[in-house]
């Protein structure tokens, strides 16, 4: 079973925090900046006059054994925040000194292992946005939604300088951009948990995008994934008089038509279309259809149709479909299709369809 985590990873100043926070507000779900965990440890080390760059293995073991860290709400309605030894350091974690110390702290494998449980304990039934460097690779390799945000060093340098609020010239911009590029190289090549994109993450270079465009892209990607996992209604349909029979209920054969309407919409929602597939020389004739009828539908009922690509083997694909009226399941079933080419010969199901198959919960 995969975790209900929206992982947002990427290099420094790629806009992760801003995007993750805005995303959590839009979706009304919690948000955690995992960098704050490393920052909180760095804050405590500096308070204890320990040097994060030169701490010995013994000192580090004692330090961790003597530390309790959690991600909690300081007050019931407040956002999640980092609590270390019963204290919420909040804004004190955002100084340049803490940033530098945190990047040292993050290089210790013992620290990373120690923080694993804290981070993993945050995943639950409800979705959560988690932002960091290794959420999609090490903390939640099974996260349902993974994004890797990046932008060119110049754009990131500009964002960082604008954030500081101080005026800057071209030379400063170039210097900061060079520093960022060097830091990227260091992060990617470091031995412990190097920064890398998870293979199944959606990479977004947002150099030419503003916050709203980045958010829209992420929201649409999440929605598409939900559709493909059969969690989202793809089609709403008001039953016309023509669909009913003499008993005043939807004629049983029409459900297969609804299944087909669903397949068409699902492909379009996923950025494909059946017509495009045919233009590429593939057809998917139905070779089996199953429908179980649970409860009748009537004239003017509004039907919600959901489903997914459930199985893809060689030349066959099975597509499931469910039809609800409100919370009531009216019918469910599936169709099996054989994939054929223009000559009518069976061929492997194209990646455009097999790629839609998603692990089900
Ligand atoms: O995102 P940030 O600047 O708050 O992160 C602080 C430091 O922690 C930064 O040097 C990267 C590191 N970090 C990490 O190694 N892994 C994470 N999941 C999050 C942050």
Shortest-distance Cα residue to atom 4 of ligand 1: 35
277 alpha carbon to ligand 1 midpoint, in Å? 43
Shortest-distance Cα residue to atom 1 of ligand 1: 35
Closest approach atom of ligand 1 to CA 34:
19
| The pLDDT of residue 359 | 52
Shortest-distance Cα residue to atom 11 of ligand 1: 103
And the tokens for 37? 């965990």
* Pocket residues: Cβ below 6 A from ligand 1: 12, 33-36, 38-39, 99, 102-103, 106, 132-134
| The pLDDT of residue 273 | 87
Domains, the chain, with CATH or none: 5-225 (3.40.50.300), 232-354 (3.10.129.10)
Shortest-distance Cα residue to atom 3 of ligand 1: 35
**Residue 38, Cβ neighbours under 10 Å: how many?**
28
- For the chain, the residue count is 361
Ligand 1, pocket-test mutation among 7, 38, 53, 150, most atoms within 8 A of CB? 38
311 alpha carbon to ligand 1 midpoint, in Å? 39
Shortest-distance Cα residue to atom 6 of ligand 1: 35
- Interatomic CA distance for residues 14 and 187, integer angstroms: 14
56 alpha carbon to ligand 1 midpoint, in Å? 21
195 alpha carbon to ligand 1 midpoint, in Å? 10
What residues contact residue 269 under an 8 Å CB cut-off, 6+ apart? Answer: 224, 227, 234
Shortest-distance Cα residue to atom 2 of ligand 1: 35
pTM, entire model = 0.76
Ligand 1, pocket-test mutation among 19, 35, 184, most atoms within 8 A of CB? 35
Rg (CA), the chain: 26
| The pLDDT of residue 268 | 85
| The pLDDT of residue 39 | 96
314-341 core/surface letters (b: 16 or more CB in 10 A; e: else): ebbbbbbbbbbbeeeebbbbbbbbbbbe
pLDDT tens per residue, the chain (361 residues)?
A: 578 999 999 998 899 999 999 999 999 999 999 999 999 999 999 999 999 999 999 999 999 999 999 999 999 888 999 999 999 999 999 998 999 999 899 999 999 999 999 999 988 888 999 999 999 999 999 998 999 999 999 999 998 899 888 889 999 999 999 999 988 887 888 888 889 999 989 999 999 999 999 999 999 899 888 877 777 778 999 999 999 999 999 999 999 999 999 999 988 877 778 999 999 999 999 999 999 999 999 999 999 999 988 999 999 999 999 999 999 999 999 999 999 999 999 999 987 788 777 554 4
Q: What is the dihedral of CA 269, 274, 280, 286, to 10 degrees?
A: 130
43 alpha carbon to ligand 1 midpoint, in Å? 13
């Amino acid at each position: 079973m995969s975790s209900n985590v929206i992982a947002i990873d990427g290099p420094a100043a790629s806009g992760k925090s801003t995007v993750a926070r805005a995303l959590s507000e839009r979706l009304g779900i919690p948000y955690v900046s995992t960098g704050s965990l490393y920052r909180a440890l760095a804050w405590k080390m500096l308070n204890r006059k320990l040097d994060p760059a030169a701490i010995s293995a013994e000192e580090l073991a004692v330090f961790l054994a003597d530390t309790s860290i959690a991600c909690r709400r300081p007050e019931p309605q407040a956002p999640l925040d980092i609590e270390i030894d019963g204290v919420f350091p909040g804004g004190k974690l955002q100084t340049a000194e803490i940033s530098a110390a945190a990047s040292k702290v993050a290089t210790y494998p013992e620290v990373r292992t120690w923080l694993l449980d804290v981070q993993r304990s945050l995943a639950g039934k409800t979705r959560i946005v988690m932002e960091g460097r290794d959420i999609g690779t090490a903390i939640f390799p099974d996260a349902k939604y993974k994004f890797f945000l990046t932008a060119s060093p110049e754009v990131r340098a500009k964002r960082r300088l604008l954030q500081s609020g101080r005026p800057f010239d071209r030379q400063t911009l170039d210097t900061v951009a060079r520093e960022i590029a060097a830091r990227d190289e260091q992060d990617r090549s470091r031995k412990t948990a190097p920064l890398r994109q998870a293979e199944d993450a959606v990479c977004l270079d947002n150099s030419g995008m503003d916050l709203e465009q980045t958010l829209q892209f992420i929201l649409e990607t999440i929605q598409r994934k939900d559709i493909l996992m059969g969690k989202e209604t793809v089609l709403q349909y008001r039953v016309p008089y023509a669909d009913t029979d003499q008993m005043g209920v939807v004629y049983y054969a029409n459900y297969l038509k609804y299944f087909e309407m669903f397949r068409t919409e699902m492909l379009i929602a996923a950025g494909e279309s059946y017509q495009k597939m045919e233009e590429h020389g593939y057809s998917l004739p139905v070779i089996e259809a199953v429908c179980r009828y649970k409860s009748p539908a009537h004239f003017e009922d509004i039907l919600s149709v959901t489903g997914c690509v459930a199985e893809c083997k060689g030349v066959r694909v099975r597509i499931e479909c469910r039809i609800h009226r409100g919370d009531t399941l009216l019918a469910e079933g599936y169709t099996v299709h054989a994939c054929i080419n223009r000559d009518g010969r069976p061929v492997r199901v194209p990646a455009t369809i097999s790629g839609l198959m998603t692990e089900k919960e």
